[in-house]
Amino acid sequence: MSNATTSKWRALLGLLLGVVARVWLRTLRLTVEVHPALAGDVARRPWVLAFFHGTQWPLLAWRRRRRTAVMVSLSADGTMQARALSVLGFSVVRGSSSRGGARGLAAIVRLLRRGDHDAAFAVDGPRGPYGVPKPGVFVAAERGGAAIVPMGAAVACGKVFHRAWDRFTLAWPFSRVAVVLGPPLEVDGKSRSVSQERLAEAIASANEAAEAILSVRKPIMVRSRWAVPLPLPSTKIGDPKTRSHEL
């Protein structure tokens, strides 16, 4: 079978997976908590949504506030994944850290600067180590004039793939899931190592907050299309003297 034929079959399979995922995700009972600092001027800017690998499934259930760009690898499996994500409404850019990454990142920056797109990054990808942010998310935010928004998620009933490096979690249909958007983080290119540490802490805090929501059956905040916040100042993660707002 030729490469072109194989690619077509992978794209078709990706289409079918996207349709199945779309139906599956609609069955999930979602609670969303949005930090109050994501109102005001920050709400009018593009966002770079930052999360760890393994939590993608419940995050896909969140109704995004605007069209969102994601980067998918140029591998054969990436063709399938790209088609599935397109079905779910994402703007897909091809590239990875090992191949075509600079070109893909530049495409995401252009979309952010247009003002009608957000972007989403699994910050510790594509091969880990788990929980350690890579530089791409900071470059996209800095060059695209975007705020970084840490995201976390939790699943009440599902399957955790413990043997996978990212411990991917799949929520069963009709399960309760929670998604948390933490306070916005501003990038300071002079303190990248500090930024990486603070972003990792912010995402971990968002994951913990999502788990706390599911540990009590009562939602912490009112659900809405994407946010119900009141204005508070953002956090500048390049400043080591600044502490993040607690959720």
* pLDDT, tens digit, 9 for 90 and up, residues 68-122: 999 998 888 888 999 999 999 999 999 876 666 788 999 999 999 999 999 999 9
Distance, in Å, from the CA atom of 105 to the CA atom of 102, rounded to the nearest integer, reads: 5
CATH for 8-236 is: 3.40.1130
Identify the pLDDT of residue 98: 61
pTM: 0.83
Identify the pLDDT of residue 73: 87
- Residue 222 pLDDT exceeds 50: no
Identify the pLDDT of residue 163: 87
Query: Cis before residue 229, ω within 30 degrees of 0?
Result: no
* % of the chain at pLDDT higher than 90: 66
Average pLDDT over residues 189-205: 82
* % of the chain at pLDDT higher than 70: 81
